[in-house]
Structure 1
Amino acid sequence: MTAILTAGLGLKPQHYEAALACRADGLWFEVHPENYFVAGGPRLGWLEAIRAVHPISLHGVALSLAADAAPDATHLERLTLLANRIEPALISEHLAWSALRGAYHPDLLPFPRTNEALSRIADNIARTQATLARRIAIENPAHYVHIDGHAWEEVDFLAELAKRTGCGLLLDVNNVYVGARNLGYSATDYIDRFPAEPVMEIHLAGHTPDPNLGAALLIDSHDMPVAPEVWALYKRLIGRIGPRPTLIERDDNLPEFDVLLAERDSAQALAHSSCAKEACG
């Protein structure tokens, strides 16, 4: 399916039937491909049914592109098989690592942005894109602690990855806000400096204060509505770069489908407003 993507939602099993029935203009859905690395069965059947009606994006969480090793060959093979089967409109991954020499961690872990890391990650992205025969988008991470040893500012690091590999970028606006609050940098400066051309997708999500530290540490929890501050950053961003495919991420504390759809409609309205100002086609 070829379609112009505007605003979409993360697809959850609880919402399969509502998603299949929905015909909202420009609606698309995003899934974690690792949940569909199967040869058949009801979950893959639902995905294929929804794919016949709405575009699908694959948002990976386990390629571990920032590890000091090439992506796991079996994982990459499974991702390629799924991509060939689903023909996704977008494929994305995180600027993080989660596996190292056979040890797997259930998290997206940070790393020092050194020249060595830049070369290694660029090589891993190039390998992935060559295997998939598709361009992928790399997502900026959320930050919770200061890490020593950075040689690159994050925006510049991501821009250089895009330049070296031809990959796209996925700008998670909630990650920007959470990281800025936790580490003490300017979210608006980050948004204003982010390169426009490589942005293939935008994520919006909710966050929560840490149970013990409160507002001193925000968690990218994906279990709340998008905060007003994140909406303001999003409006600022698309006012500068124009509308891009935008996803409402909600992974926990799931409301009814119509509640998420209304939040998605808010992103859609802002995108249309930005497009009108830019005189988009």
Structure 2
Amino acid sequence: MTLAAGRGLWCCHAMTKDAQTPTFTTPQGREIAYHLTQGTGPTVVFLGGFKSDMGGTKAVYLEDWARAQGRAYLRFDYSGHGESGGAFTDGAIGDWFEDACAALTLTDGPLVLVGSSMGGWISLQVARAMPERIAGMVTIAAAPDFTEDSMWGGFSDAQKAELMAGQVALPSEYGEPYIITRRLIEEGRNRLVLRDPLPLPFPVRFLQGTADADVDMSVALRLLDHAQGPDMRLTLVDGADHRFSDDTCLKLITDAVTDVLQTATDKG
């Protein structure tokens, strides 16, 4: 185990048991797995969704694209997700925001954040916390404040009572049920971004499918209306679902990232 060089001097680096995926330990003691591709900046960073991982289609596609472009790129798993340590049910939005902030210390210079679903919410929190490092942002079916507006706001009285007793299970199209904990809901109320001013002083491209059954199109419209920035655009893709991972959607993602990088470079 070696001490990280550069920005993240407090991160202890090691290799996972398969000797392929590097990890580091956050200041809070959580082990985070990641893949960092060296290249020119700004570094593109993929922030995944709720219960997703860095081995997903979009994250890997972007890595392949970044390699072909000679672009620096980072993907990682939040604690309790993918190859990172910890139990999913122990985590909350603030923990995963802290994980993201810790992962960003592995990079230098400006960043373009690509946030998918919950990763869009976390990207917005990161931009609020460290605006000086953000050169641009692309979100894919961003789900800001979903623990409050979608989960808690959509629960029946019985589900709310069950949750307040500890946790509630929600069905999922992606496999086993989601276990939603009381801490996830209550801690999420400290992380909301749609209740206060949300300045985004850099190029932003919001991508949203019209057939998304998990994040309604109205969320994208609300985010566009609420955020404040000089260069924000929303692209609605007819018939695209929450995965946003077919060939057409994947090209739209890299086109948006390219646009943001070019715009940021021209302004710089």
TM-score, normalising length: structure 2: 0.38
TM-score, normalising length: structure 1: 0.36
Q: Which has the higher helix share?
A: 1
Q: Which has the higher strand share?
A: 2
